[in-house]
Structure 1
């Protein structure tokens, strides 16, 4: 009848369920899935916070390490200054009689000693190449790329100590290359008994890039006291004769070069400066002030 609403068609619930399943299969991209956007965002935030914390404490190692190295250099500088003071005191001390036992000399390097005896010029050894110790010239050449020093050798001569009954090795001093041959400096070959004052020197080990000694050619690049003693029949005892031992036409004595590098103050400034700079950068990055309200 007109005016009356049509009755709804009653469908079986199972049929409605089957239709819903078919509809879902036709539109798989529209099928409902649980939302993970909130969970993923939280995980990413947590991972970033963990990475930032690791980076923060890892970068803190840089100023910490620099501070530790600077403090270590402070201690090294104190040790070096004490060593320099002891060395200066030893060099300026009054000469003592030379001990006959080489073992007693281990703690006496750079200590002035006095001996009496005569030279055996027939067994000279040559430490070469060497330049003459000249503080005035070295001051003039400071900062230059080349040196004006003349190359030559140190003349090492066996010396028989009359009072001790032993033969030692004495570095008589520097001669230029043209005077290495003893025939060219006969006037300077001292004869008879003499009194000498010199500084005790210990044996050396070969440093990197230094050539090997060549005993066959009598070219010695470093002090190998055992080898020198075997070749000359002397004891492994070595002294540098002082400048007063110099005679006209002979080697120039006083060729002991005492150098102790003390650059620890520069290292202290470098390490503490690096510590301050990296600490400032670390604080600027990780210790940000909260925004004003």
Structure 2
């Protein structure tokens, strides 16, 4: 009986000791486990999952940085391409302006009767002989006087001379061709739109007129419609103008040399085209330089 009691006491002490040791091991494991990498046995090798996850995240981050690096490089590359395109556009525009200047200063040719030939002669200088019908004047307004040198200097800018008036379009009977055409005699200020205010310039009899062939215009979005009843025209509609005056749909801008003292001022052909390509070139190449430096500083210089 005594030996049984001794055995039970010994067993209790052993269980208590094992219980305490187990608790200590559990506590240490609980505290240390989050700080230790996880291991897994696979095919006889230990694999560290904690380190593998960190390495995978770092590789993913490097991949994203590399993708961003090359995507951002598209910005300076694109702006450089746009700047180069503007260089070519400017060359094309300068050639076009030079061609228009050549046509408007060339030796005048007789006005052809073939309407198909006229379609290919816009801005070509022609000469006609006949007489004006001042009783059917048309007024294209508002207009400002053309100054070719000033317009070439200020092409593409918002500027105004401050002076407005109208262009006087007059039917002209061509005695050598037997047809009536429309001639833009030129510019008059607002105070001289009425023919009574410029009677000295209402030339009578047969005269020779040198001018530039112009074709009909398509009304632009913000240009008002022509008011036929009030004789206020805002763009060249040759069919409508011819219907009102009985003239053929043939239109020329009289040259400055055809100006009659006291009458409208000729030479009102606007041949200066918008040429803002130099500004665009500076803008795009400037953006290319700025973004290239930013890309270099972020991805190359810091290395």
Same fold (TM over 0.5): yes
SS where residue 254 of structure 1 aligns? coil
- 1:257 aligned partner: 270
SS where residue 154 of structure 1 aligns? strand
Choose between structure 1 and 2: higher helix proportion. 2
Shift in CA distance, 212/248, structure 1 to aligned 2, threshold 3 Å: same
Match among 100, 110, 126 for residue 113 of structure 1: 126
1:216 and 2:220 equivalent? no
Q: If the length of structure 2 is used for normalisation, what is the TM-score?
A: 0.78
Displacement, 1:199?
1.0
CA RMSD of aligned residues (A): 3.5
Shift in CA distance, 71/141, structure 1 to aligned 2, threshold 3 Å: closer
8 Å contact kept, 1:141–1:147: no
Q: If the length of structure 1 is used for normalisation, what is the TM-score?
A: 0.80
Distance 1:275 1:229 in 2: 53
SS where residue 160 of structure 1 aligns? strand
Displacement, 1:38?
2.3
Displacement, 1:130?
1.3
1:167 and 2:195 equivalent? no
Note the alpha carbon deviations across 1:77-128, whole angstroms, 9 max, x for none: 2211211221221122100011112321233222211001121222211001
1:71 and 2:84 equivalent? yes
Distance 1:272 1:81 in 2: 20
Q: Which runs of 5+ in 2 are unaligned?
A: 1-6, 39-48
Q: Which runs of 5+ in 1 are unaligned?
A: 1-5
Distance 1:198 1:77 in 2: 29
Distance 1:271 1:85 in 2: 26
- 2:116 aligned partner: 103
1:130 and 2:113 equivalent? no
1:38 and 2:51 equivalent? yes
Distance 1:124 1:41 in 2: 88
- 1:7-26 to structure 2, matched below 5 A, reads none
Distance 1:75 1:196 in 2: 39
- 1:52 aligned partner: 65
Distance 2:300 2:175 in 1: 78
Shift in CA distance, 275/157, structure 1 to aligned 2, threshold 3 Å: same
Match among 193, 196, 205 for residue 192 of structure 1: 205
Match among 95, 108, 115 for residue 82 of structure 1: 95
Distance 1:77 1:249 in 2: 40
- 1:278 aligned partner: 291
8 Å contact kept, 1:102–1:236: no
Shift in CA distance, 138/60, structure 1 to aligned 2, threshold 3 Å: closer
